[in-house]
Amino acid sequence: MENIRVQKLHKEYTRWNWQAGKNEPFTEDMTLFTLSTPGSTYALAALESGHLAHVYYGKRTDDEDLSYLLRLGENPYTIKVNSRDTGTFMDTTPFEYPTFGTGDYRESAFALTDENGAAATSLVYRGYEIIEGKPALVQELEDCKVTLPSVKGCPRCASTLVITMEEVRTGAQVVLYYTAFRELDVITRSAVVKNTGDTAFKVTRAMSTAVDLDSDKYDFITLNGSWARERILERSPLHHGKQSIDSMKGESSHQSNPFAALVSHKADEESGEAYGFNLVYSGNFFAQAEVTQHKRTRFVMGMAPFDFSWTVAPGASFTVPEAVMVYSSEGIGKMSRTFHDLYRQHLIRGEYKDKARPVLINNWEATYFNFDTEKLVSIAESASKAGIEMLVMDDGWFGHRNSDDSSLGDWYVNEEKIKGGLKDLVDRVNALGMKFGIWFEPEMISPDSDLYRAHPDWAIQVKGLPLTQSRQQYVLDYSRKEIRDNIWAQMKKILDSANIEYIKWDMNRQITECGSAALPADRRQELWHRYVLGVYDLQERLVSEYPHILLENCSGGGARFDPGMLYFSPQIWTSDDTDAIERLKIQAGTSVCYPASAMGAHVSDCPNHTVGRSTPFSTRGNVAMVGTFGYELDITRISEEDRAQIPGQIAEFKKYNPIVREGDHYRLANIFEDNTFDAWMFVTKDKQKAVFTAVQVLGRPNYHSRLVKLAGLDEKKRYRSSLTNEVHSGAALMNCGVIVDLSGDFKSMVIEFEEVK
C-alpha cells in the first residue's frame, strides 16, 4: 500500500489587488505531500516561496489534491499578491516547523543563535526523499554514540518522508522526518539539525512536532498528579491563549506526563475526534496548545526549551527526540488502543516483549531496610509454596545501608545483612524453584558513600551553591562517560556474581543545581539532555549485555513512565501507591496512552502503607491483574485467609493475562467522573474471549445491581459468561449490558466471556 504521495502542482488563482484596484491572476507552484494511514491523512506543502505549510491532519480522505485548504486564492497576505505584508503572511499561515523571529508570533518549533547572538531563524524548503521503513535516531557525542529511543518501523509496515530545510542565515540543514504506518493510525515525527558550515551555532529550541489545526473547538486532555497519584486525567476546553504542561525536573515527572490529546468537545470513549501526542523522551519536556487570534489551534511538543541550548560544531549534528501522533475518529478509546498496539508491537523490545512476566514478591513493604538472608529466604519459602515465581530484593542490600541516608554509589554487597554473600542467597532462592531479582538506583550518589568521598565533583552541582539534598542523596553527572563506566563496572560485577534474572532500576529524586564540572560554561545548558542520553547509554549496555534479564524501570514510583523508558524495559512501576482504590484512577489514566502490559502492579498489605485503607484481598488482586501482577507484602505474616487466596489469584492471572497483555482495552466507566464505581474489559484480537472487571468503590443504599454495557465484542458471536453460565450475543452484551451485583464498599468481580461456536 502506497502511503506517501508526492504531487507537483501548478495552481492558478485570481485575487483582488487593492493597490492596483483590480483583479489580477497569479500562480503558485508547490509540492504537495500526503501521508496516509488506515484511518487518517496528513498533508503538507512546500510553497514556491520556500515555506513549508501544514495542509491537513484528520480523518482519511483519498482526494488527490488538498491544497485548496491553504486558501491561497483568498488570502490577501499571500506573498505573490501582497509582498508588503509578509509579516502578516507569516503570522497567519499554518506552518509545519514554525520558527522564531521573522513574523510568526505564535509558539515556535525551532530557533538557533549564531556566533553574533542573533536569534531570528528562517527555514526554506530544499528537497525531499522517501525511505521505505524507518531510520533509527542517533546522537553522536564526543566519546560515544547514543541511540535515542524510537518506535521501530520495517519497510513492510512503514514509510518515511524526509524533508530537508535550510536555515537562511547560517546555512544549517534541518531535516524533518515523518513516518506513516501502514496498519496503525500513527505518524511519528523527529528532526536532525546539521551544521554544514564552518562556524558553530546553538540550537535553543527544537520541538519534535508542531501541528496547526483549523479550529479551536477542542478539549485539552493531560495526565497530571504527584507522587502516589500519578497520571490523573484532566480535561478542559481550550481558550484563547496558551495551555501547557512541562517538566523541568530532569525526568518526565510525577506531576505531568509527556502525553497530551486534543479531542472534540463531545468526544467520549467510542465517538468523536481525538488527536493524541506522546514524546518518546525521559527528560525535561514541553507540550502546549495555543488558540490564536484567528481561532485556530497550534500544538507543539518536544524537549523543554527553558535553560536548554546545544552547540552544533561544524560537521556535527543534533538529533531531536521523536514524537508519536495518533488520530482517531472513533473516540478516545480507539486512540488509546492505537497507542497500545504501537508500543507493544514497535517500541518494547527484548525477550519479554510478547511474554508473560513472572509473578514476583518484592520485600520493600514487607521489611523496608530491616532484613537479612534468613528473612528473605523465609519469605521465599512461603512464596514458593503459594506459587509465586520470583523474589525481588529491594533497597538496603549494599554498602552499609540501613536507611536511605547512605551508600548510593557503593554497589557492593553488605555481608552483615547478606551473610554468606549474594550467590549463596540467590542459590538458596533458586533451589526453591524461584527466580531472583535485585534493586539498583544507579543514577544516584549519597554524601555518605565511598564514591562521593573519592569523587565529590561527580555529583551534579553549581559552583558556589550548596547542593540540595533530597532523600539525603545527590544525582550523578551522567553526562560524563567515566562516571557511567564506573557505575557499570560495579553493576556488572554484581550481575556476574549470581543468577540474577530481574532488575528494578529506580530514581528517587530530581535534578537541582544543574551544572557539570566537566562541561565548559558556554555548554552548561546541554547538561539536561546529556544526562538523559547518559541514562539511555547505560540502559542500552544493560539490555544488550544481559538480554535475558527482565528490566523494570521506576522513579519514586511513576515519575518516569514514558515511551523512552519502555524502549529499554517492557514494564515500569506505575506508582508507589499500591492501594487498590487509588490504583483505579492511576491505572485508568495511565491506560489512556500506555498498555496494561507495561504497568507494574502488585497486591500489597493492609492497612495500605500509603493511604491507610483496608480493602478485600480479592479486590487488591483483581485490580493488580490489570498490570504485570505480583506481591508487595510479608507473606509470612499475613492472615491465613489472605495467604490461602494467593494460589487462586495466580491461577486467574495466568489464565487472564494473555488477554490483558495482548488484547484490546476498553474503559467502561469513568472513575474520574464517578468515584463510586469503575469497570473495564480486555478483548482478544479475534474477539473470541474477553475478561471483564468491575469494582464497587462505595456501596449504594436500597439497590445494589447495575447494568454495564460491554464493548469490543463481535455482535454476531455468542458468548458464555463464567459467572452465570448463560449465553448471550455480543449485540446483547454491548447494547443491553451485563448485571453487576456488588454490595458494600471496595467489592469487585471478574467475569470471563468466551465464544460459543
Q: What is the pLDDT of residues 336-391, one digit of tens each?
A: 999 999 999 999 999 999 999 999 999 999 999 999 999 999 999 999 999 999 99
- CATH 2.60.40.1180 residue ranges for the chain: 677-755
**How far is residue 71 CA from its own chain's centroid?**
36
Mean pLDDT over 13-36 rounds to: 84
- pLDDT tens by residue, 178-210: 999 999 999 999 999 999 999 999 999 999 999
Among residues 505, 530, 510, which one has the least CA distance to residue 520?
A: 530
Backbone angles phi, psi at 346, to 5 degrees: -125, 0
Which residues are tagged catalytic? 506, 576
Which amino acid is located at 355 in the chain? K
Listed in sequence order, the DSSP H helices in 405-526 are 422-431, 450-454, 481-497
Residue 44, beta-bridge partner list: 33, 54
DSSP three-state, residue 516 = coil
What's the confidence (pLDDT) of residue 18?
A: 67
Contact 715, 729 (CB under 8 A): yes
Distance CA 694, CA 662 (A): 20
Sequence-separated (6 or more) residues with CB below 8 Å from residue 189: 176, 177, 178, 179, 208, 209, 322, 323, 325
In the Cβ-directed half-sphere of 325, how many Cα atoms lie within 13 Å? 29
**Stretch 293-312: mean pLDDT:** 97
pLDDT at site 676: 94
First to last CA, the chain: 35
- Chain-centroid distance of CA 135 in Å reads 20
Res. 614: pLDDT tops 60: yes
Arithmetic mean of pLDDT, 45-60: 96
Q: Tell me if the domain spanning 360-662 has CATH number 2.60.40.1180.
A: no
User: What pLDDT score was predicted for residue 81?
Assistant: 65
Residue-wise pLDDT tens digits, 569-595: 999 999 999 999 999 999 999 999 999
Whether the pLDDT of residue 80 is over 80: the answer is no
Q: Alpha-carbon dihedral of residues 74, 78, 83, 84, nearest 10 degrees?
A: 60
Distance of alpha carbon 377 from alpha carbon 564, whole angstroms: 35
Q: Is the pLDDT of residue 20 over 90?
A: no
d(CA 541, CA 539): 5
With a pLDDT cut of 70, the percent of the chain lying above it is 98
702 band by pLDDT with thresholds 50, 70 and 90? confident
The confidence score (pLDDT) of residue 700 equals 82
| Calpha distance 528→309 (Å, rounded) | 10
The Cα 262–Cα 327 span in angstroms is 10
SS3 203: strand
At residue 57, φ and ψ (nearest 5 deg) are -145, 125
Residue 76's pLDDT is 60
Helix (H, G, I), strand (E, B) or coil at 736: coil
Chain region(s) in the chain for CATH 3.20.20.70: 360-662
Looking up cell 551555532 gives 201
Fold category of 677-755 in CATH? Immunoglobulin-like (2.60.40)
Q: Topology of domain 22-346, per CATH? A: Beta-galactosidase; Chain A, domain 5 (2.70.98)
Q: What is the pLDDT of residue 416?
A: 95
Distance CA 556, CA 508 (A): 5
Give the mean pLDDT of 644-670.
98
Burial 117-142 (b: 16+ CB within 10 A, else e): eeeebbbebeebeebeebeebebeee
Closest CA to 505 of 541, 456, 479, 480: 541
DSSP lists the bridge partners of residue 95 as 53
Decide if pLDDT at 424 tops 70. Answer: yes
Angle at 398 between CA 392 and CA 400, to 5 degrees: 140
Per DSSP, 308 falls in state: -
pLDDT at residue 84 above 80? no
pLDDT at 89: 86
The pTM score is 0.97
List of long-range contacts for 71-74, beta carbons under 8 Å, 24+ apart: 72/11, 72/13, 72/28, 73/11, 73/13, 73/14, 73/15, 74/15
Strand 630-632 relative to strand 474-475: parallel, antiparallel, unpaired? unpaired
pLDDT at 77: 62
Location of C-alpha cell 515556535? 108
Is 1's pLDDT higher than 60?
no
Give me the half-sphere count of Cα atoms (radius 13 Å) on the Cβ side of residue 532: 28
Q: How far apart are CA 31 and CA 276, in angstroms?
A: 27
> Residue 137 and residue 49: Cα distance in Å, rounded?
30
Q: Answer yes or no: is pLDDT of 82 > 80.
A: no
Give residue-wise pLDDT tens across range 101-153: 999 999 999 999 998 899 999 999 999 999 999 999 999 999 999 999 999 99
Three cell numbers at 107? Answer: 509558539
* Cβ neighbour number for residue 277 with a 10 Å cutoff: 23
What pLDDT digit, counting tens, does each position of 441-450 carry? 999 999 999 9
Residue type, 212: D
The span from the CA of 577 to the CA of 573, in Å, is 10
C-alpha cell at 596: 496494561
pLDDT band at 60 (very low <50, low <70, confident <90, very high): very high
Residue 74: pLDDT over 80: no
Parallel, antiparallel or unpaired: strands 747-755 and 718-721: antiparallel
User: Across residues 389-394, what is the average pLDDT?
Assistant: 98
DSSP 624-673: HTTSS-EEES-TTTS-HHHHHHHHHHHHHHHHHHHHHHHSEEEE-S-TTT
User: What is the pLDDT of the chain when averaged over all its residues?
Assistant: 96
pLDDT at 690 over 80: yes
Place of cell 551508600: 407
Question: How much is the pLDDT for 703?
Answer: 74
Q: How confident is the model at residue 417 (pLDDT cuts 50, 70, 90)?
A: very high
pLDDT in tens, 499-545: 999 999 999 999 999 999 999 999 999 999 999 999 999 999 999 99
pLDDT digits (tens, 9 = 90+) for 101-115: 999 999 999 999 998
Measured between alpha carbons, how far is 248 from 234 in angstroms, rounded to an integer? 20
The span from the CA of 288 to the CA of 618, in Å, is 42
